[in-house]
Amino acid sequence: MTRLIHFCLILILASAWAAEPAKTYEGEVAGIFCSACSSHVKAAMMKIEGVHSVKILSSKAGGLPRLQILSKKPLTLQQATQALGDQAKIYNIRSLNLVKG
């Protein structure tokens, strides 16, 4: 009986988590020159709680590459920079704004 109750609680919590809409954040990031650079930034962003998708999009008209993050939790520029750790010396997230959510 206890296992059944625990199972039901897990299902309720999982459905509440899945029902929470993802927020889309976009910004610009300097220092990305190749696919390895993109991989480093993506891996760092994926460590942030709530983040479930990260894309590096090509720049517009010679600008900086764009960072697109889908997160179920609010996200700040400071959190994203902290997630880079020592790599923040190489990759500089210039902006990060909520665009949908």
Q: Where are the domains of the chain?
A: 20-100
**β-strand partners of 58:** none
Answering whether pTM is above 0.85, one says no
What is the reported pLDDT for 74? 95
What is the reported pLDDT for 11? 63
How does the average pLDDT of the chain come out, rounded? 88
Bigger pLDDT: 101 vs 42: 42
Fold of 20-100: Alpha-Beta Plaits (3.30.70)
Bigger pLDDT: 16 vs 86: 86
